[in-house]
Structure 1
Amino acid sequence: MISSGSKSIRQRSGGTKIKSPSEDVVYSSKLSSPRRSQPSSVLAPTYMFGLFVLVYLATYGFVMLVERQLPRPLTIQDEPRHPGRFIAERVYNHLVNLTSLGPRPVGSFENEVLAVNFLRKEINNVIQQSDPKVHQIRLDTQTVSGAFPLTFLDRMTNIYRNVQNVIVRVGPVVESAHSLLVNCHFDTVPDSPGASDDGSSCALMLELLRVIALSPTPLQNNIVFLFNGAEEAFLQASHGFITQHPWARNVRAFVNLEACGAGGREVLFQSGPKNPWLMEVYSASVPYPFASSLAQDVFQSGLIPGDTDFRIFRDFGNIPGLDFAWSKNGYVYHTRLDAVSQIPLASLQRTGDNILPLLLNLVNSKQLVAVHQYREGSLVYFDFIGLFIVTLSSTFTILVCLLTLGLVLLSVYINSRAAGEQLAHGSSYAGLLVRCAGFTLVNYVLCLGVNLAIAFTLTKMNRAMSWYGAHLWLVPLYIIPLLILSFSSILFFTHNYLAKFTRFKQSTHSSFYYNVITDSTLLLYSLIMMLLMFTYVGSVMVPLIWILSLSLFSILRSLHPSLSLNPVSSLLCFLLFSLVPYMLCSYLIYCVLLLIVPIMGRSGSGNHAEEVISFLTTTIFSLLFNLMTPCILFVRSPKKVLSSLGTIFFVSILLLVLTPLGFPYSGELSSPTPQRYMIMHVDRVYHNPYSIPDQLSVNSSSTQGQGSIRKAKSGLWLIDLDVNSPKTIDHLISEGSMSVVSEDSDCSRELYCGLPYFLPVYTFIFHTHWIQDRVYTPLGVPLDLKLTYKHVEPWNQVDQSNNT
Structure 2
Amino acid sequence: MGCKDKFTHILDSKSKYRLNVPYSAPKKINWWFAPFFVAIWIVLYCTVVLNLSILLPTPLTLKDEPNAPDRFIGERAYSILEGLVSLGPRIVGSEANEVQTVEYLLNEIEKVREQANTEYFDIESEVQTVSGSYMHWTMVNMYQGVQNVVVKLSAKSSNSSSYLLINSHFDSVPGSTGGGDDGSMVAVMLEIMRVIANSSGPLEHPIVFLFNGAEENPLQASHGFITQHKWAKNCKALINLDACGNGGKEVLFQSGPKHPWLMRYYRENAVHPYASTMAEEIFQAKLIPSDTDFRIFREFGGVPGLDFAYTYNGYVYHTEHDRADIVPMGSLQNTGDNILAVAKAIANAPEMYNTKEYEDGHVVFYDFFGWFIIFYTQTVSTIINLVVSFAALVAIGTSIFFMIVRSGLGVNDILKRFALVIGLQVVALLLGTALSLLVALFMDAINHSLTWFSQMWLLIGLYFCPMFFGMGIVPAIYCQYKKRDQLSLGFRIQMFMHAHCVLLVILTLAITCCGYRSGFMPMLAVLFDVVALIVNLITKWHRRAYIFALTVIICQILPFIYFTNISYSFFYTMVPMMGRNGSGINPDLMMAALAVFMSMLFAGFLIPLILFFRKTRILVSGFLVVTLVFIIISLTPAGFPYQEKTAVQRFNLIHARRVLHDFDSSVRIGDSGIYVWPQDRRTSTVNDLVPVMTKGQKVIDFCKTEMFCGVPAYNHRWNKDRDHSFWIDFSEPNIPSVPELELLSKEVSPFSARFVFKFSGPDHMTIFVGTKSDAQIKSWSFNDTAIRENWEQPYFIYFSYGKDSTPLEFFIDIEKTSGNFSEPNIEIGIGAHWVHKNAQNTKEFEEFLDSFPVWAYVNNWVASYESWVF
| Shift in alpha-carbon separation, 1:301–1:770, aligned structure 2, 3 A | closer
Query: Does 2:253 match 1:263?
Result: no
Structure 1 residue 426 displacement after superposition: 9.4
**Residue deviations 1:184-240 (CA, integer Å, cap 9, x gap):** 100110010001111111111111111111112242110000000010011111011
Q: Distance in 2 between matches of 1:210 and 1:34?
A: 76
Q: Distance in 2 between matches of 1:735 and 1:166?
A: 43
| Shift in alpha-carbon separation, 1:37–1:541, aligned structure 2, 3 A | farther
Q: Distance in 2 between matches of 1:302 and 1:571?
A: 41
Match of 2:145 among 138, 162, 170: 162
Q: Distance in 2 between matches of 1:341 and 1:52?
A: 42
| Shift in alpha-carbon separation, 1:736–1:537, aligned structure 2, 3 A | closer
Structure 1 residue 427 displacement after superposition: 4.1
| Shift in alpha-carbon separation, 1:619–1:37, aligned structure 2, 3 A | farther
Structure 1 residue 40 displacement after superposition: 1.8
**Residue deviations 1:68-89 (CA, integer Å, cap 9, x gap):** 1111111212211221221111
Query: Does 2:464 match 1:486?
Result: no
The 8 Å contact of residues 166 and 207 in structure 2, kept in 1 or not, is answered as: yes
CA RMSD of aligned residues (A): 2.8
Q: What are structure 2's unaligned runs of at least 5 residues? A: 1-10, 744-754, 757-770, 779-789, 796-811, 813-827, 831-870
Q: Distance in 2 between matches of 1:128 and 1:780?
A: 44
Which has the larger strand fraction?
Answer: 2
Match of 2:675 among 694, 697, 717: 717
The 8 Å contact of residues 696 and 729 in structure 2, kept in 1 or not, is answered as: no
| Paired AA for residue 69 in structure 1 | L
Structure 1 residue 365 displacement after superposition: 1.0
> SS at 1:676's partner residue?
strand
Match of 1:144 among 104, 127, 130: 130
Q: Distance in 2 between matches of 1:210 and 1:773?
A: 54
Alignment correspondent of 1:458 = 443
| Paired AA for residue 164 in structure 1 | Q
| Paired AA for residue 395 in structure 2 | S
Aligned residues with identical type, % of pairs: 33
The 8 Å contact of residues 605 and 767 in structure 1, kept in 2 or not, is answered as: no
Alignment correspondent of 1:49 = 34
The 8 Å contact of residues 381 and 517 in structure 2, kept in 1 or not, is answered as: no
Q: Distance in 1 between matches of 2:179 and 2:354?
A: 37
| Paired AA for residue 732 in structure 1 | V
Q: Distance in 2 between matches of 1:82 and 1:616?
A: 43
Alignment correspondent of 1:656 = 634
Structure 1 residue 396 displacement after superposition: 4.3
Structure 1 residue 284 displacement after superposition: 0.7
Match of 1:447 among 432, 438, 456: 432
Matches within 5 A, 1:18-417: 31=15, 35-36=20-21, 39-61=24-46, 62-151=48-137, 155-174=138-157, 175-394=159-378, 396-417=380-401
Query: Does 2:650 match 1:676?
Result: yes
**Residue deviations 1:696-740 (CA, integer Å, cap 9, x gap):** xxxxxxxxxx64322233212221111111322433214862333
Which moves more between the two structures, 84-93 or 189-198? 84-93
| Paired AA for residue 79 in structure 1 | E
| Paired AA for residue 66 in structure 2 | P
TM-score (norm 1): 0.87
The 8 Å contact of residues 137 and 170 in structure 1, kept in 2 or not, is answered as: yes
| Shift in alpha-carbon separation, 1:86–1:797, aligned structure 2, 3 A | closer
The 8 Å contact of residues 792 and 799 in structure 1, kept in 2 or not, is answered as: no
Alignment correspondent of 2:661 = 687
The 8 Å contact of residues 171 and 218 in structure 1, kept in 2 or not, is answered as: no
Query: Does 2:710 match 1:754?
Result: yes
**Residue deviations 1:274-321 (CA, integer Å, cap 9, x gap):** 111101001111111111212212211211111100001111111100
Q: Distance in 1 between matches of 2:681 and 2:671?
A: 27
Match of 1:544 among 501, 520, 523: 523
Alignment correspondent of 2:784 = none
| Shift in alpha-carbon separation, 1:779–1:41, aligned structure 2, 3 A | same
Alignment correspondent of 2:558 = 580
Alignment correspondent of 1:608 = 586
> SS at 1:539's partner residue?
helix
Structure 1 residue 514 displacement after superposition: 2.5
| Paired AA for residue 505 in structure 2 | S
Which moves more between the two structures, 631-640 or 337-346? 631-640
Structure 1 residue 429 displacement after superposition: 4.8
Query: Does 2:690 match 1:732?
Result: yes
> SS at 1:606's partner residue?
coil
Match of 2:643 among 666, 680, 693: 666
Structure 1 residue 171 displacement after superposition: 0.4
Q: Distance in 2 between matches of 1:333 and 1:532?
A: 32
**Residue deviations 1:675-698 (CA, integer Å, cap 9, x gap):** 11112212233333x5xxxxxxxx
The 8 Å contact of residues 267 and 373 in structure 2, kept in 1 or not, is answered as: yes
> SS at 1:471's partner residue?
coil
| Paired AA for residue 660 in structure 1 | P
**Residue deviations 1:10-40 (CA, integer Å, cap 9, x gap):** xxxxxxxxxxxxxxxxx97764996226632
Q: Distance in 1 between matches of 2:53 and 2:384?
A: 29
| Shift in alpha-carbon separation, 1:290–1:531, aligned structure 2, 3 A | same
Structure 1 residue 666 displacement after superposition: 1.4
Residue-pair matches, total:
746
Q: Distance in 2 between matches of 1:38 and 1:625?
A: 30
Q: Distance in 2 between matches of 1:777 and 1:344?
A: 40
| Paired AA for residue 525 in structure 2 | W
TM-score (norm 2): 0.81
| Shift in alpha-carbon separation, 1:642–1:435, aligned structure 2, 3 A | closer
> SS at 2:738's partner residue?
coil
| Shift in alpha-carbon separation, 1:775–1:326, aligned structure 2, 3 A | closer
| Shift in alpha-carbon separation, 1:774–1:394, aligned structure 2, 3 A | closer
Q: Distance in 2 between matches of 1:732 and 1:298?
A: 36
Q: Distance in 1 between matches of 2:222 and 2:191?
A: 21
Alignment correspondent of 2:568 = 590
Structure 1 residue 116 displacement after superposition: 0.8
Q: Distance in 2 between matches of 1:385 and 1:38?
A: 46
Which moves more between the two structures, 506-515 or 208-217? 506-515
| Paired AA for residue 662 in structure 1 | G
| Shift in alpha-carbon separation, 1:360–1:371, aligned structure 2, 3 A | same
Structure 1 residue 325 displacement after superposition: 0.5
Q: Distance in 2 between matches of 1:679 and 1:395?
A: 49
The 8 Å contact of residues 718 and 768 in structure 1, kept in 2 or not, is answered as: no
Q: Distance in 2 between matches of 1:166 and 1:334?
A: 23
| Paired AA for residue 747 in structure 1 | C
| Paired AA for residue 749 in structure 1 | T
| Shift in alpha-carbon separation, 1:453–1:785, aligned structure 2, 3 A | farther
Structure 1 residue 417 displacement after superposition: 2.1
Q: Distance in 2 between matches of 1:463 and 1:446?
A: 23
| Paired AA for residue 722 in structure 1 | D
Which moves more between the two structures, 266-275 or 762-771? 762-771
Which moves more between the two structures, 166-175 or 387-396? 387-396
Query: Does 2:491 match 1:512?
Result: yes
The 8 Å contact of residues 604 and 767 in structure 1, kept in 2 or not, is answered as: no
Matches within 5 A, 1:609-624: 609-624=587-602
| Paired AA for residue 178 in structure 2 | G
> SS at 2:319's partner residue?
coil
